[in-house]
Structure 1
Amino acid sequence: MNHRANHRVMALAALAIFLVQGAAAQGLRPSGASSPGMGLPRSAATLPTPQESAAQRQADNIVALVNSEPVTNNEVRARLARAEAQLAQQGGAMPPRDLLAREVLERLIVERVQLQQAREVGVKVDDFTVTQAEQGVARQNNMSTDELYRRLARDGVGRERFREELRDQLVLQRLREREVESRVKVTDLDIDQYLREQQQSQSAASMEINLGHVLVIVPENAPPALVAERQARVQQAADKIRAGEDFAAVAREYSDAAEARNAGGLLGLRPVDRYPELFVSSTQGVPVGGVVGPVRSPAGFHILKVVERTNAGLPTTVVQSHARHILLRTGPQLTESAAAERLADYRRRVLAGQADFATLAREHSQDGSAKEGGDLGWANPGRYVPEFEEAMNALKPGGISEPVASRFGVHLIQLLERREAKLTQREQRDMARSTVREKKLDEAYATWVQELRGRAYVEYRDAPQ
Structure 2
Amino acid sequence: MTDRRLPLRRTLPVGLAVSLLMAGAGVPVQAQSLKPAAGLQRAAAPAATRTVDYIVALVNSEPVTNFDVRQRLLRLEQQASAQGKALPARDELVKQVLEQLIVERALIQQATEQGIKVDEATVGQAEQNIAAQNQLSVEEFRRRVVSEGLDPNKLRNDLRNQVLLQRLRDREINARVSVSEAEIDAYIRERQNASVGALELNLGHVLIQVPENASADQVRELQAKAEGVAQRLRAGADLAAQAREFSQGAEAAGGGLMGMRPVARLPELFVQATQSLPVGGVAGPVRSAAGFHVLKVVEKQQAPVPELSVTQSRARHILLRPGVRLSQDEAIARLTGYRQQIASGQATFEALAAQFSNDGSARQGGDLGWVSPGQFVPEFEQVMNALRPGEMSQPVVSRFGVHLIRLEERRQAVLSEREQREIARDLVREQKADDAVSAWTDEVRGRAFVEYREAPQP
Please give the TM-score of this superposition, normalised by the length of structure 2. 0.64
Q: How does 1:52-201 map to 2 (within 5 A)?
A: 60-72=53-65, 105-114=98-107, 121-122=117-118, 124=123, 126-131=126-131, 159-161=148-150, 177-182=166-171, 183=173, 184-201=177-194
1:34 is aligned to 2:34: no
Q: CA deviation at 1:308?
A: 1.6
Deviations, residues 347-368 of structure 1 (Å, cap 9, x unaligned)? 644645586436655x358xxx
1:309 is aligned to 2:316: no
Whole-Å Cα distance in 2 between the matches of residues 82 and 245 of structure 1?
31
Whole-Å Cα distance in 2 between the matches of residues 309 and 378 of structure 1?
37
> Residue 432 of structure 1 is aligned with which of 424, 434, 456?
424
Q: How does 1:413-428 map to 2 (within 5 A)?
A: 413-428=405-420
Shift in CA distance, 188/421, structure 1 to aligned 2, threshold 3 Å:
same
Q: CA deviation at 1:439?
A: 1.2
> Residue 2 of structure 1 is aligned with which of 5, 9, 12?
9
Q: Is the 8 A contact 1:76 1:101 kept in 2?
A: yes
> Residue 263 of structure 2 is aligned with which of 269, 272, 278?
272
Whole-Å Cα distance in 1 between the matches of residues 373 and 72 of structure 2?
38
CA RMSD of aligned residues (A): 5.4
Shift in CA distance, 339/275, structure 1 to aligned 2, threshold 3 Å:
farther
> Residue 444 of structure 2 is aligned with which of 421, 445, 452?
452
- Amino acid of the structure 1 residue aligned with 2:353: F
For residue 301 of structure 2, give the secondary structure of its aligned residue in structure 1.
strand
Q: CA deviation at 1:292?
A: 2.8
- Amino acid of the structure 1 residue aligned with 2:48: S
Whole-Å Cα distance in 2 between the matches of residues 116 and 290 of structure 1?
42
Shift in CA distance, 378/403, structure 1 to aligned 2, threshold 3 Å:
same
Whole-Å Cα distance in 1 between the matches of residues 11 and 279 of structure 2?
33
- Amino acid of the structure 1 residue aligned with 2:57: A
Whole-Å Cα distance in 1 between the matches of residues 258 and 169 of structure 2?
19
Worse overlay, 426-435 or 188-197? 426-435
Whole-Å Cα distance in 2 between the matches of residues 237 and 81 of structure 1?
31
> Residue 214 of structure 2 is aligned with which of 205, 220, 224?
224
Whole-Å Cα distance in 1 between the matches of residues 388 and 371 of structure 2?
16
Deviations, residues 185-214 of structure 1 (Å, cap 9, x unaligned)? 333222112123334444353x33323334
Q: CA deviation at 1:287?
A: 1.5
Shift in CA distance, 78/248, structure 1 to aligned 2, threshold 3 Å:
farther
> Residue 284 of structure 1 is aligned with which of 269, 275, 283?
275
Deviations, residues 278-321 of structure 1 (Å, cap 9, x unaligned)? 44333222212223334444555544332222233123243221
1:320 is aligned to 2:312: yes
For residue 304 of structure 1, give the secondary structure of its aligned residue in structure 2.
strand
Count of residues in Structure 1 that have an aligned counterpart in Structure 2: 400
Q: CA deviation at 1:259?
A: 3.9
Q: Which residue of 2 aligns with 1:143?
A: none
Query: Structure 1: where are the runs of 5+ without partners?
Result: 39-55, 136-148, 150-156
1:357 is aligned to 2:353: yes
- Amino acid of the structure 2 residue aligned with 1:129: N
Whole-Å Cα distance in 2 between the matches of residues 216 and 127 of structure 1?
38
Whole-Å Cα distance in 2 between the matches of residues 252 and 234 of structure 1?
14
For residue 273 of structure 1, give the secondary structure of its aligned residue in structure 2.
helix
- Amino acid of the structure 2 residue aligned with 1:64: A
1:393 is aligned to 2:400: no
Whole-Å Cα distance in 1 between the matches of residues 327 and 249 of structure 2?
36
Q: Is the 8 A contact 1:180 1:444 kept in 2?
A: no
Shift in CA distance, 448/60, structure 1 to aligned 2, threshold 3 Å:
same
Q: CA deviation at 1:80?
A: 9.3
Q: Is the 8 A contact 2:200 2:300 kept in 1?
A: yes
- Greater RCO, 1 or 2 (C-alpha within 8 Å, sep 6+): 2
Q: Which residue of 2 aligns with 1:442?
A: 434
Shift in CA distance, 423/74, structure 1 to aligned 2, threshold 3 Å:
closer
Task: Quote the sequence identity (%).
Answer: 47
- Amino acid of the structure 2 residue aligned with 1:190: E
Q: Which residue of 2 aligns with 1:245?
A: 237
Whole-Å Cα distance in 1 between the matches of residues 280 and 107 of structure 2?
34
Q: CA deviation at 1:165?
A: 10
Q: Which residue of 1 aligns with 2:26?
A: none
Shift in CA distance, 244/379, structure 1 to aligned 2, threshold 3 Å:
farther
- Amino acid of the structure 1 residue aligned with 2:62: E
Whole-Å Cα distance in 1 between the matches of residues 127 and 57 of structure 2?
30
Shift in CA distance, 276/202, structure 1 to aligned 2, threshold 3 Å:
farther
Q: CA deviation at 1:418?
A: 0.8
- Amino acid of the structure 1 residue aligned with 2:334: D
Q: Which residue of 1 aligns with 2:453?
A: 461
Whole-Å Cα distance in 1 between the matches of residues 442 and 321 of structure 2?
32
Q: Is the 8 A contact 2:197 2:303 kept in 1?
A: no
For residue 210 of structure 1, give the secondary structure of its aligned residue in structure 2.
strand
